[in-house]
Amino acid sequence: MTEVGPSAQRIIANIEKVIAGKYDVIRLGVTVLLAEGHLLIEDVPGVGKTTFAKALARSIDCSVRRIQFTPDLLPSDVTGVSIYNAESADFEFKPGPVFANILLGDEINRASPKTQAALLECMAERQVTVDGVRYELQSPFLVLATQNPVEMEGTYALPEAQRDRFTAKISLGYPDRTAEIAMLSDQTTIDPLSLLQPVSDAAHIRALIETVRTVHVVDSVKDYVVTLAERSRNHPEIRLGASPRASLHLLRTAKAAAALAGRDYVLPDDVQQLAVPVLSHRLIPAATATVAGRAPEDLLAEIVAKVPIPVASPRG
């Protein structure tokens, strides 16, 4: 457990060289990586979504592939395709970009739902089935997708099934004034991204993920997670609440967050902090909430503020 924190801190520090003043977001990204999840970065253009994704990818010495999602992108462009090999007189599978440790999907909502759906199996089951043949993906496997929330013309909103497969959604937001000035001085001369050196590798990340899996969770915290999910399902202003997969993702990220904090046990605090980024993008608010201008984040924050934290001691 002791090496998870420092290793993660090294990765975070590395990324911060490129994206200044966004510690919490970067930490969340690393948490999702260690929780074997996938990250959806939603923000306006130009705030560093792609830079963040690339910086994360570069900080880890592993295979990174990038897909620029466009309306004419086909599923086979993502997963790979079987091509007839005249020499062997057989169909030969040409792996697509998903066969990498980190898949950077830029502007994911610009691809057609058909293409987006190509990612479903990869993300959930970490495998690709082409022509009846199953191909295992590499480990670790992280999908970092970005999307732009303002320019909706010519985009296809992510289907619910797809959104649910993203562990967390984050927004980078604008940098603060000093960070932006620093960025102006740094990035006008050289591209700091090009100077970024990996501080970890795939094997190390795999080891860290294994460690995270051993983090202890008491029943009362599991109960707390399920209560939060239930409340989101029963909330009058939420049309679609958190799925069981969402509960699972929440608990996994909580474990990763605990490990990152150097603990081998999950606290309700971990769950509280991650509830909004992990659950909010999966919720579909009811019309009343939309009309009232209440975002899913607000509704979730309200739920978190109302659910009592577990207090029972295991001593009884």
Partner 1 sequence: MSAPARQQYGTGPDPVVAAATGTVAAGVLLTTLPLRSIFTDWSWLLVGIGCVLPYLAVVALARMRDTPRWWHSAVGLLASVLMVLWVFVPQHLWLGVLPTPSSFGDIGDLIRSANTSMQQEHAPLQSTGALRLLVASALVVLVALTDVLAVLLRRPLLASAPLLEVLAIASATSSQAAHPVWFAAAAGGFLLIMLSGTRLQDRAWGPSVDGSAGRLGGARRMAVTGVLAALVIPLLLPSVSVNVLARATHHNGGNGDGPGKGTGRPIVLNGIASLRGNLQRPKPVQLFQVKVNAGIPFYVRQEVDDEFANDGWRPSGQLGQQDNLVRLDQEQFDIGPFENPPAKAQAKPYEARFTLLALGGSTLPILANPTSLKSPGGGVWNSATASVQDATLRRGMSYTEETSEPNPTLAQLRAAPAWVGDAETTSRLVGLPDGMPASVQELTDRLVAGLDSPYDKARAISDFFTNGKNNFHYSLTTSDRGDRTALEAFLDPDTGRQGFCQQFAAAAGVMMRMAQLPTRVVIGYTHQPPDSNGVFTVLTSDAHAWVEVYFSSIGWIPFDPTPLTGGDATRAVDLPWATHPQAGAQETAEPTANKGPSASGSAASGQANQASQSGDQFGVPTVVVEIGLLVLLAIVLILVLTFGPRWLRRRQRRRRLERARITGNPEPLWLELAATATDRDALWPSTVTVGQVAGWLSRHGVDERGRAAVTAVADRVERDRFSAQLVQELPPDSIAALDQALTRWARRTDRRLSLLHRWLPRSLISGQPRWRR
Binding site for partner 1 (CB under 8 A): 216, 218, 220-221, 263-269, 272, 304-315
Instruction: Give whichever of 128 and 257 is closer to partner 1, judged by the CB atom.
Output: 257
Least Å from the CB of residue 286 to partner 1: 24
Least Å from the CB of residue 306 to partner 1: 7
Instruction: Give whichever of 55 and 279 is closer to partner 1, judged by the CB atom.
Output: 279
CB 32 within 8 A of CB 167: yes
Please state whether beta strands 142-147 and 39-42 pair in parallel, antiparallel, or not at all (unpaired): parallel
Per DSSP, the three-state class of 217 is coil
Instruction: Give whichever of 176 and 219 is closer to partner 1, judged by the CB atom.
Output: 219
Instruction: Give whichever of 112 and 227 is closer to partner 1, judged by the CB atom.
Output: 227
Tell me how far apart the alpha carbons of residues 223 and 209 are, in angstroms, rounded to a whole number. 24
Residues 6+ apart with CB under 8 A from 67: 73, 77, 78, 97, 103, 104, 105, 106
Least Å from the CB of residue 216 to partner 1: 4
Burial of 135 (0-12, 13-18, 19+ CB in 10 A): middle
CB 3 within 8 A of CB 208: yes
Instruction: Give whichever of 85 and 214 is closer to partner 1, judged by the CB atom.
Output: 214
Written as one string, the DSSP assignment of 166-210 is SSEEE---PPPHHHHHHHHHHHTTS-HHHH----EEHHHHHHHHH
Instruction: Give whichever of 5 and 113 is closer to partner 1, judged by the CB atom.
Output: 5
Least Å from the CB of residue 187 to partner 1: 38
Q: In which order are the strands placed within the sheet that holds 168-170?
A: 64-68, 102-106, 142-147, 39-42, 168-170
Instruction: Give whichever of 193 and 301 is closer to partner 1, judged by the CB atom.
Output: 301
Closest listed residue to residue 14, CA positions, set 196, 180, 192, 183: 196
Q: What spatial distance separates the first Cα and last Cα of the chain, rounded to whole Å? A: 28
Least Å from the CB of residue 236 to partner 1: 20
Least Å from the CB of residue 254 to partner 1: 11
Least Å from the CB of residue 312 to partner 1: 8
CB 212 within 8 A of CB 4: yes
